[in-house]
Structure 1
Amino acid sequence: MADITFNFGNFDFFLLILVRMASFVFLAPFFGSSDTPQRIKAGFSIFVSVVLFQVVPKSTLEYASATGFAVIALKEGITGLLIGFAASICNSIVLFAGRLIDMEIGLSMATMFDPVSRQESSISGTMYSYFVMLLLIITNMHHYLIRVLADSFTLVPVGGAIFDTGSLYSSMMGFMTDFTVIGFRIALPVFAVNLIINAVLGILAKVAPQMNIFVVGMQLKILAGLAILLLTVGMLPGISDFIFTAMKKMIVAFIKGMY
C-alpha cells in the first residue's frame, strides 16, 4: 500500500513537483487546451503530482529562507513550461502549412479563432490542427507526454535544473529548419496541383485571350485545392508521424539543455 502521508520535511518537495506538473499542463498540447476547465487542469495536476511523489527520487533541498524556496520553485516552473512549450510548439507546423495551403487556393483572407492555439488561424490550418490533436489522443501520445514529465525528474531532479541557454538556442534553431521543411511537405500536393493549373491557365491565356483567366483561375484553384485536401486525407497519419517525431525530438533536446 502506497504511503501518501506528508509531513513538514517532504511537503515542500511535493509542492515543487506540483509546480513543475502544473506548469507543464498549462502549455502542453491536449492538456493545456483553453476549452479544458481550469478545475480539471488543477485536479489532474494535483493527482499526478501525488502519484509522482511516490516514485520520484527524493533529493535534499538546500534553501535557507522563503526566498531560496521561491527561487527553486521558479526553476521548477520554468522547467515545466519549457517541456510543455517543446511539445506545444510543434502544433504550429500544421498551422504554418495551413496558411500556405489557403494562400495557394485563395482562402487566406478567411481566418478563424483557434481555441487550441489561442490565435487567429487559417481554415486549413485549424482543420489539420484538430486532426493531429485527434490522432495524438488515438495513438496515446498524451501518455507519452506524461511519461516524459515523470522521467524528467530523474534527469533533472527537483531543484537541480541548470539552464544551458546555448543548447536551448541551438534546439530552437534546429526546430526552425524542421518547421519549414515539414510545413512545405504538408502543403506540397497543393503546390504541385496549383503549378499545373497555372501552367494550363498560362497556355489558355495565349490560346484564348478573350477568356477571363482571373475569374476562371480563382474558382478553379479553390475547387482543385478542396479536391486535393479531400484526396490527401489518407496522408494525415503520415503527417502526424512527422509532427510527433519533431515533438519527441524537441522535448529531448530541451531536457538535455536543463542538466
Structure 2
Amino acid sequence: MFNFTFSLRDLEFFLLIVVRITCFIHTAPFFGMTNTPVRVKIGLGVLISALVYQTLTPVHPEYSTVLMYAIYVLKEAVTGIIIGYSAAVCVAILNFAGHLVDMEIGLSMVSLFDPVSRDSVTISGTYYQYTVLLMLMISGMYQYVLAAIIETFNLIPVSGAVFNSDKILNAMLTFLRDYLALGFRLCLPVFAAMLLLNAILGILAKVSPQLNMFAVGIQLKILLGLGVLFLTVGMMPGASTAILSEMKKMITLFAEAIT
C-alpha cells in the first residue's frame, strides 16, 4: 500500500527523488522529446518518484540552511541530467551517420524540419533515428532506460552523489571513440558503394572525356545511395542492437562516475 503520511523530512526526501527522475526524463531519449508536453514529463516523473519512494528507506539529508538543501537539489538535478544525457548521446550517433551518408550521396544540402526535435535534420539521419527509436519501443529498451534511473538510487543514494571528474572524462572519451566507430559502421555500405562508383566514373572520364561525368555522377550517386539504404534495411536490427548496447554501457559508465 502507498504511505501518504509525510513528515516535512519525508517530503524533502521525496522532492529530491522527484528532481532526479524528472531531470532524467527531460534528457533521456524518447521520453525527452521536445513535442512531449512539459506537464506530461513532470507528471510521469512524479508518478515514478512516488513508486520509487515506496521501495527506498528514507535517508533524510542533513542541512542547516536553505542554501545547503538547494545544493542537494542541484546535485540530484545534475545526476538525473548526466544519466539521461548518457543515454541521449547514443541516439546522436544516428544523426552523425546520417550526415555522413548525405554528404556521400549528395543530399547534404537537403534538410527537413523535424516537428519532434524542432530542428533541421537530414534525410538519412531522420531515417536512422526513427528506425532505431522504433526498435527501442519494440525491444522494450525503454523499460531498461527507466529501470536504469531507478537502479541509480541503490548505486547513488539520495544526496550522496560524488562527481569524479576523472571518471566522467574517461566516460566521455570512451563514448567519443565508440561514437565514431558506430557512426562509420552504419554508413560503411554507402561509403563502399560510393567509392566503387567514383572509381568507375573516373575510368569513364578518362575513356570518354566528352561525357559530362559530373552531371551524370550526381544523379547516379543519389540513385545508388538510396538503393544501398534500401538494401541495407535488414542491417538495422543489428545496428539498433549495437546502439542499445552502447547505451547500456554509457549509462553504467556515467553512473559509476558519480558514485
Task: Compute the TM-score of the two structures, normalised by the length of structure 2.
Answer: 0.97
Match of 2:239 in 1: 239
Q: Secondary structure at the match of 1:148?
A: helix
Match of 2:45 in 1: 45
Distance 1:24 1:227 in 2: 39
Measured after TM superposition, the shift of residue 40 of structure 1 is 1.0
Read off the aligned partner of 1:87 and give its amino acid letter.
Answer: A
Measured after TM superposition, the shift of residue 118 of structure 1 is 4.9
Read off the aligned partner of 1:6 and give its amino acid letter.
Answer: F
After superposition, where does 1:1-259 map in structure 2 within 5 Å? 1-259=1-259
Read off the aligned partner of 1:184 and give its amino acid letter.
Answer: F
- Taking only aligned residues, the RMSD between alpha carbons, in angstroms, comes to 1.1
Task: Compute the TM-score of the two structures, normalised by the length of structure 1.
Answer: 0.97
Read off the aligned partner of 1:64 and give its amino acid letter.
Answer: S
Identity percentage of aligned residues = 47
Q: Secondary structure at the match of 2:89?
A: helix
- Alpha-carbon contact 1:16-1:73 (below 8 Å) kept: yes
Distance 1:250 1:257 in 2: 10
Measured after TM superposition, the shift of residue 117 of structure 1 is 4.6
Count of residues in Structure 1 that have an aligned counterpart in Structure 2: 259
- Alpha-carbon contact 2:83-2:255 (below 8 Å) kept: yes
- Alpha-carbon contact 2:35-2:116 (below 8 Å) kept: yes
Measured after TM superposition, the shift of residue 119 of structure 1 is 3.8
- Alpha-carbon contact 2:9-2:60 (below 8 Å) kept: no
Read off the aligned partner of 2:100 and give its amino acid letter.
Answer: L
Distance 2:29 2:118 in 1: 12
- Alpha-carbon contact 2:164-2:258 (below 8 Å) kept: yes
- Name the stretch that deviates more: 201-210 or 110-119: 110-119
Distance 2:246 2:126 in 1: 19
Distance 1:28 1:5 in 2: 31
- Name the stretch that deviates more: 1-10 or 203-212: 1-10
Distance 1:98 1:175 in 2: 18
Q: Secondary structure at the match of 1:61?
A: coil
Q: Secondary structure at the match of 1:192?
A: helix
Distance 1:172 1:245 in 2: 16
Distance 1:174 1:116 in 2: 29
Measured after TM superposition, the shift of residue 116 of structure 1 is 4.6
Measured after TM superposition, the shift of residue 112 of structure 1 is 2.3
Q: Secondary structure at the match of 1:181?
A: helix
